[in-house]
Amino acid sequence: MANYKRIFLDGYSYYITIVTHQRNPILIQNIELLRKSFQASKATYSYKIEAITILPDHIHMIITPNSAKEYPHIVRTIKQYFSKHCKQDFYEHLYQSNSRHKEGYKPIWQKKYYEHTIRNERDFREKLEYLYLNPVKHALVENPEDWEYSSFFQK
Judge contact between 6 and 115, C-beta under 8 A: yes
Count of residues for the chain? 155
Catalytic residue among 12, 105, 130, 149: 149
Strand partners, 59: 18, 54
Query: Does residue 21 contact residue 108 with C-beta atoms inside 8 Å?
Result: yes
> Which residues are bridge partners to 51 per DSSP?
62
Q: Active-site residue 95, yes or no?
A: no
Rounded to 5 degrees, φ, ψ at 10 are -60, 140
Query: Catalytic site residues?
Result: 149
